Chains A and B, each alone.
Chain A
Amino acid sequence: MQLREIAHSRTGDKGNIANISVIAYRESDYPLLEKYVTAERVKAFFGDLVTGEVIRYELPGLGALNFVLHGALAGGVTRSLRLDAHGKSLSSALLGMEEMFFIEAFE
């Protein structure tokens, strides 16, 4: 099971920083996101793609998390050599994250 089954996501960019929202389709699933989709796991998921720290902001009222990934855009949108200089496609990758928590989610 992938994160995609319970959440949707969008990436934004500012300079060399990407932000990725992770939003529960059902707000009742939000505690699972909060418990398992941690800043450490997101940082580990992207590996060398993200050179700086990952900060997580919580929005329980919206059932959403916002991850801010420093050093995620290869120097920034305007000078990156990457094909997707904005990092627009990062959110889709994150939704492929597979975690044990989905067993809990579908119990």
Chain B
Amino acid sequence: MNQKNLRIGAGAGYSGDRIEPAVELAEKGRLDYLVFECLAERTIALAQQRRARNPEEGYDPLLEARMTACLPACAQNGIRVITNMGAANPVAAMNKTASIAARLGISGLKIAAVTGDEVSGQIRDMDLRLMESGEPLGTLRDVLVSANAYLGAEPIVKALEAGADIVITGRVADPALFAAPLIHEFGWSFSDFGRLGKGTVLGHLLECAGQVTGGFFADPGYKEVPNLARLGFPIGIVSADGDFELTKVPGSGGRITLATCKEQLLYEIHDPARYYTPDVVADFTGVRFHQLEEDRIRVTGGSGNPKTGLLKVSVGYLDGFIGEGQMSYGGPGAVRRGQLALDIVRERLGFLGIDTADGQFDLIGVNSLYGPTLPVGEPAEVRARVAVRTADRSVAQKVADEVEALYTNGPAGGGGAVKSVREVMAVQSVLIPAELVRTEIHFQNS
């Protein structure tokens, strides 16, 4: 059992995140672990589509760039890596990572892949209700693309125990990516819900990387963030009892304050006394932040209660198409011309027999974010935006084309048309008993 403090860095907060701060962490963060969280709700369903087209694909599109940039410093400094960049194909991601390491001349790395989160086979015929719509899961049978259970920390801990230097997973609860090294290094029990709760607080604060160091925070005149362009990512320094400090690499941009920590603690949570993960029901209500010095915050008071025994499963399914077009109007009378543009597009779609009940007609600059909720003056420019959902791709195309046709057929001075048609990958959730999920760990040496 390790009793020295553990240093864990957050190298990515989402799939497309910046890579330079992760390199900075690996080189200068004196880390023990570097964690990359790269899997949003829908990302894995899109990855599953890529895997269906090519069995060697389906992992994070930036895996190669991230590993190539970070592995040299990680290998040199003995930093172990944990990531969900495996997405829909952790084994392919493991093999790819091994070949990247070989190309970089890094040998002796043990790389692990965790599988078993893909559960579409197990749940397809179960009598389950979708949490969001309340409909039976069976209604999605023909359009189902993926079903991935949120795994807990256990398979990652097993991979670390087996000596893995890099652990690559698919769908795992985000905080579990961070709790796993604590469980492994400090020898925490999976029934020590108090400490697991603290590990979950750490994971929740770190999982969005730059969002706790001043990203998504600046509001000039109210909330200043120095050197935001060079925003650094956070480091958690954790003691064996589970309390921890948050800091970042000295000289990096951004800041860590009581305010940045409070905003991130409450980000994407509902009842703060019940934050559900596969490992624990964490309680954030006792969490307290103490500023020790500039960019150094001590975090205490996290706790937890026994897990529910249920796992959330994200179900990805195809849900039609969205056709969208936009056009700008400016100068005096811009709002009235923009509104006229929306009105005539709506009327023309009616002529074509296209149902616009499931449609959005916005004036960006006036009402696109909040509808008529907030008062607005006369802006210098507006952008008319039409988006309509339909079951048929060709209908979506007609919607997009009709907005573009405003050039020669609409109000005066419309410019800068863009149009798009995209297939909708929607996501809902079901709960299943945890014992239905069987995880497997695969290894590969570089």
A positions within 8 Å CB-CB of B: 4, 8-10, 12-17, 19, 21, 23, 25, 45-49, 55, 57, 59, 61-64, 66, 68, 76-79, 81-84, 89-90, 93, 96
Contact = CB atoms under 8 A, between A and B. Distances in A.
What 3 A-B pairs are tightest by C-beta distance, nearest first? A12-B268, A21-B266, A81-B360
Contact of B219 (A8, A59, A77): A8
Given A62-B266, A83-B369, A93-B373, 10 more contacts: A15-B132, A19-B266, A19-B267, A45-B373, A55-B270, A62-B287, A66-B269, A66-B270, A68-B270, A79-B424
A10 B425 contact: no
Interface string B261-272: 011111111111
A25 B424 contact: no
Contacts of B319: 78-79
A75 B124 CA distance: 24
B202 to A, nearest CB: 17
B263 A77 contact: no
A47 B42 CA distance: 29
B41 interface: yes
B387 interface: yes
B141 interface: no
Interface residues of B, number: 53
A81 B373 contact: no
Contacts of B148: none
B368 interface: yes
A66 B263 contact: no
B263 A23 contact: yes
Interface of B: 41-42, 131-132, 216-217, 219, 222-223, 259, 262-273, 284-289, 301, 319, 322, 358-360, 362, 364, 368-374, 385, 387-389, 424-429
Contacts of B287: 61-62
Contacts of B385: 83
Contact of B131 (A15, A77, A79): A15
A46 B266 contact: no
Nearest to A23: B262
A15 B429 contact: yes
B266 A78 contact: no
Nearest to A89: B369
B270 A17 contact: yes
A52 to B, nearest CB: 12
27 contacts: A8-B259, A10-B216, A12-B269, A19-B270, A23-B259, A25-B259, A61-B285, A61-B287, A62-B265, A62-B266, A62-B287, A62-B289, A63-B262, A64-B266, A66-B269, A66-B272, A76-B132, A77-B41, A77-B42, A78-B319, A78-B424, A78-B427, A79-B426, A81-B387, A89-B370, A93-B373, A93-B374
Contacts of A66: 266, 269-270, 272
A8 B263 contact: yes
A46 B368 contact: no
Contacts of B371: 47-49
A14 B276 CA distance: 13
A7 B265 CA distance: 16
